[in-house]
């Protein structure tokens, strides 16, 4: 038995070499990934159809990559998704949470309602990949002209989900139950002052017919060529904070005539890090406080009246989050008082995301579906991510399973990460995403068909 597993691993490594990073975390779990083929009618049909299907998926991804749009403004994206789904013969519901869409695929046999979700928005990033289908789109974001890029890989999410929709809509005779397709806008957050994303889609009633389960996926530069899943808390909660500081302006040559908000901002920004290093036991409660924006002043020889800090908070525990809020207010207001300025602290200025929790029973029961989909290139031996996902809102309503797909090439040692201008999705990795969704649908529907 051991020899057969070792030979299996060597074959996989020959065909799909993985990075030292993945192997250092996951060598033993790869050794133990016994591939148990469940030849369901859906899977057999997918094996016959996969090459033709993937040619469509790749073409769709290149289109969406070339024409990204920011959250709540995905008008062109939404219209193209609607056209493709309509051409598949599906009835599409549009303008949900501004630019979101849903559609049902009704199976010809009784079974559960399975929701599948893909997010559709891009980021205010100027692309630097030099791909032939690279984005040259520009828009206005927070008052500035910016480039727009699918720097988080949502173009891949759209295309994979359209591939799943294409396949399942042509195989309803083999489908037990129904599929709810969710194309969700504004996962990266809606514009300030607007609602959006998963929370708004739920508010507008997309779960009136409540699914039994929901599955989602995210591409990443990690887990090169493999699929990974984390049971339980998998991604952190997230919210943005803003600290506004008001002082007294003066000429830069007479700083004693000012109450300097910039010096207060320096001290506040530095002291925020003592919350994690001195106030919270982070051994079992990891948390992050990062300042991402500092704004103050208009000229080198003017001490301004105001300064502003903006950043993000990531936690896995609501009590820890409450403590961070309390400590941040204490630090900001007291340091401001010491500098003879005033400070106000606001939280969740763009809304907030809860912790993304993968249902442990789903991970336990359907990891084998992902192992089979990837030829054994799978790991559940990963750390929770301090990234955040508003898939969490869906998973708070029904049991959810959210998995990661490594898309920067089998054997690639390092690659630019998500949210960078150099992030690249390798087309050859996307078939594992399509197969993963189909396997999850096939195995879950078979298990819950009542037959």
Among 353, 376, 408, where does a domain finish? 353
- Assess contact for 120 and 99: CB atoms under 8 A: yes
Q: Do both 376 and 316 map to the same domain?
A: no
Q: Do both 314 and 281 map to the same domain?
A: yes
Nearest to 450 by CA among 107, 180, 207: 107
Q: Do both 241 and 228 map to the same domain?
A: no
Rounded Cα distance between 152 and 419, Å, is 5
Q: Do both 75 and 184 map to the same domain?
A: yes
Q: What pLDDT shows up at residue 193? A: 87
CATH classification at residue 243? 3.30.70.360
Rounded Cα distance between 439 and 43, Å, is 7
Structural domain includes residue 295: yes
Rounded Cα distance between 280 and 297, Å, is 34
Q: Do both 51 and 133 map to the same domain?
A: yes
pTM: 0.86
Two tokens, residue 359? 């249902």
Domain count, the chain: 2
Domain span at 84: 10-235+355-447
Structural domain includes residue 296: yes
Nearest to 388 by CA among 269, 285, 288: 288
Q: Do both 304 and 441 map to the same domain?
A: no
Rounded Cα distance between 384 and 394, Å, is 19
Q: Could you report the per-residue pLDDT of 66-100, keeping only the tens digit for each?
A: 999 999 999 999 999 999 999 999 999 999 999 99
Structural domain includes residue 74: yes
Among 353, 378, 395, where does a domain finish? 353
Two tokens, residue 116? 């599948």
Structural domain includes residue 1: no
Q: Could you report the per-residue pLDDT of 9-39, keeping only the tens digit for each?
A: 333 333 333 333 333 334 444 445 666 667 8
Among 353, 384, 403, where does a domain finish? 353
Q: What pLDDT shows up at residue 39? A: 81
**Rounded to 5 degrees, what angle do the CA atoms 95, 89, 161 make?**
65
CATH classification at residue 180? 3.40.630.10
Structural domain includes residue 2: no
Structural domain includes residue 69: yes
Q: Do both 221 and 118 map to the same domain?
A: yes
Which SS3 state, helix, strand or coil, does residue 11 take? helix
Q: Do both 210 and 104 map to the same domain?
A: yes
Q: Do both 198 and 246 map to the same domain?
A: no
- Assess contact for 19 and 408: CB atoms under 8 A: no
Structural domain includes residue 4: no
- Assess contact for 280 and 323: CB atoms under 8 A: yes
- The residues, any chain, with a CB within 8 Å of residue 392's CB and separated by 6 or more, are 198, 235, 237, 353, 354, 355, 356, 357
Structural domain includes residue 406: yes
Q: Do both 31 and 141 map to the same domain?
A: yes
Q: Do both 57 and 108 map to the same domain?
A: yes
Q: Do both 303 and 206 map to the same domain?
A: no
Local mean pLDDT, 10-residue blocks, the chain (451 residues): 37 32 39 66 95 98 98 98 98 97 97 98 97 97 93 98 98 97 95 92 98 97 89 95 98 97 98 94 89 96 98 94 97 98 95 95 97 93 92 98 88 80 95 97 93 58
Rounded Cα distance between 170 and 153, Å, is 27
Rounded Cα distance between 207 and 97, Å, is 13
Q: Give the DSSP per-residue string, 148-213.
A: -B-TT-HHHHHHHHHHHHHHHHT-GGG-EEEEEEEEES-TT-PPTT---HHHHHHHTTTTSS--SE
Rounded Cα distance between 380 and 230, Å, is 5
């Amino acid at each position: 038995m051991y020899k057969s597993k070792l030979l299996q691993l060597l074959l996989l490594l020959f065909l799909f070499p993985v990075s030292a990073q993945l192997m250092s975390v996951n060598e033993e779990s790869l050794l133990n990934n016994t591939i148990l083929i469940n030849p369901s009618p859906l899977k057999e049909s997918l094996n016959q159809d996969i090459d033709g299907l993937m040619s469509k998926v790749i073409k769709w991804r290149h289109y969406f990559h070339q024409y990204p749009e920011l959250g709540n403004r995905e008008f062109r994206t939404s219209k193209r998704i609607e056209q493709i789904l309509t051409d598949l013969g599906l009835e599409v519901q549009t303008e949900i949470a501004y630019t979101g869409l849903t559609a049902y695929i009704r199976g010809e046999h009784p079974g559960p309602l399975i929701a599948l979700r893909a997010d559709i928005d891009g980021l205010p990033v100027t692309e630097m990949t030099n791909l032939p289908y690279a984005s040259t789109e520009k828009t206005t974001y927070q008052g500035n002209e910016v480039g727009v890029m699918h720097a988080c890989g949502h173009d891949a999410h759209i295309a994979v989900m359209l591939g799943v929709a294409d396949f399942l809509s042509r195989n309803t005779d083999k489908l037990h139950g129904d599929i709810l397709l969710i194309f969700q806008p504004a996962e990266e957050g809606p514009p300030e002052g607007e609602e959006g994303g998963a929370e708004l889609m739920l508010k507008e009633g997309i779960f009136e017919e409540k699914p039994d389960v929901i599955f989602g996926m995210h591409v990443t530069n990690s887990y090169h060529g493999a699929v990974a899943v984390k049971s339980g808390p998998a991604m952190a909660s997230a919210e943005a904070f803003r600290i506004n500081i008001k002082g007294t302006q003066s000429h830069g040559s007479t700083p004693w005539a000012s109450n300097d908000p910039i010096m207060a901002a320096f001290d506040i920004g530095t002291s925020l890090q003592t919350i994690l290093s001195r106030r919270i036991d982070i051994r079992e409660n990891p948390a992050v406080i990062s300042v991402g924006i500092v704004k103050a002043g208009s000229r080198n020889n003017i001490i301004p009246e105001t300064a502003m800090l903006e950043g993000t908070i990531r936690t896995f525990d609501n009590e820890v989050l409450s403590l961070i809020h309390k400590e941040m207010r204490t630090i900001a207001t007291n340091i401001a008082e010491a500098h003879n300025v005033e400070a106000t602290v606001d939280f969740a200025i763009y809304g907030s995301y809860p912790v993304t929790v993968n249902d442990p029973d789903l991970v336990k029961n359907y990891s084998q579906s992902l192992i089979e989909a990837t030829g054994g290139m799978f790991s559940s031996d990963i750390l929770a991510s301090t990234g955040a996902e508003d898939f969490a809102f869906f998973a708070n309503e029904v049991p959810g399973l959210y998995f990661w797909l490594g898309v920067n090439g089998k054997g690639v040692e390092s690659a630019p990460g998500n949210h960078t201008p150099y992030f690249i999705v390798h087309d050859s990795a996307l078939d594992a995403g399509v197969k993963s969704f189909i396997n999850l649908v096939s195995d879950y529907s078979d298990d819950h068909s009542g037959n």
